[in-house]
Amino acid sequence: MTRCNVLLTGATGFVGRAIVEELILQKYNIRIALRNICTYVPRGVVPIKVGDMLIDTNWQNALCGVDVVIHAAARVHVLTDMAVDSLAEFRRINVEGTLNLARQAVSAGVKRFVFISSIKVNGESTAHGRPYTTADEPSPVDFYGVSKYEAELGLLDIAAKSGIEVVIIRPVLVYGPGVKANFLSMMRWLNKRAPLPFGAIDNKRSLVALDNLVDLIVTCIDHPAAANESFLVSDDEDLSTTELLQRMAVALGRPTRLLPVPTGLLKAVAVFLGKRDVAQRLLGSLQVDISKTKETLGWTPPVSVDVALKKTAEDFLSRQQY
């Protein structure tokens, strides 16, 4: 079977590296767009230096002969944001840079543009038992979510005017081997066997294993029903923060030491400490309904939550220094 030619942006990121590995396994012809050719490039992958992703970036060499673009590069959350106008900076890369690439993809004859967006386009939280769907009115809150939504609108407009097929994928929180940020912090605390005050949290949150997200992205490369559609993606099993900690502890082979502190008290302490956003992520709900994704594409997540947590834990433990 002859595989199409794929250009991937964001190939050095957490999700991008996993996409490259899967594309290699499935024998796609792969090009990766890089700022600088100074990182390890897997065998059989063609690196193309394009520089920064801006409104005037020249993609001509990278796009020549390409059938499908998978656009995973973006400006994500910046802990110490020094930009004078943060929203403008997000728009400069995530909107203007994305649409510049898409317009040049049209000119180059690219057939499909797969855009990795974010659940933040929908919003930051859901009422318990009322998950987001793609039919919901988008309600982004932060600058990142706003920029992703504006990019989606621009891409759909380009598709309507040109005929290029656009596929939009909105992942929830992604975890897997090499995960960073809050998920990594959670594993560190569990690995230390530290008692944690999260034993009585009755929320529900959707997560997506890296393997499941990558499987969906690759499915969308050439699935005929994916054209000009938007998809939410998760593991299709929602967990409370308490359940996640319990199952992650099992994956790590560590005892669960969770104290049943009332949620109301945790919220009050978080607000007092100026950590309202942290409290929302730990105590609030954010669920997605992936029925459309499953029905439209005939797709189901290939990896279970417990298998994915075990894989994540094994990678974490292998990196620890004793």
Exposure string over 240-253, b if 16+ CB within 10 A, otherwise e: bbbbbbbbbbbbbe
CA distance 267 to 261: 11
Calculate the CA dihedral of residues 160, 163, 169, 170 and round it to 10 degrees. -20
268: phi then psi, degrees, rounded to nearest 5: -60, -45
CA distance 273 to 77: 21
**Half-sphere CA count of 301, side-chain side, radius 13 A:** 24
Look up residue 94 and give its DSSP letter.
I
Candidates 28, 40, 132, 144; catalytic one? 144
CA distance 268 to 284: 14
Look up residue 30 and give its DSSP letter.
E
CA distance 148 to 141: 11
Tell me, yes or no, if 28 is annotated catalytic.
no
Would you please indicate which residues are annotated as catalytic (active-site) residues? 144
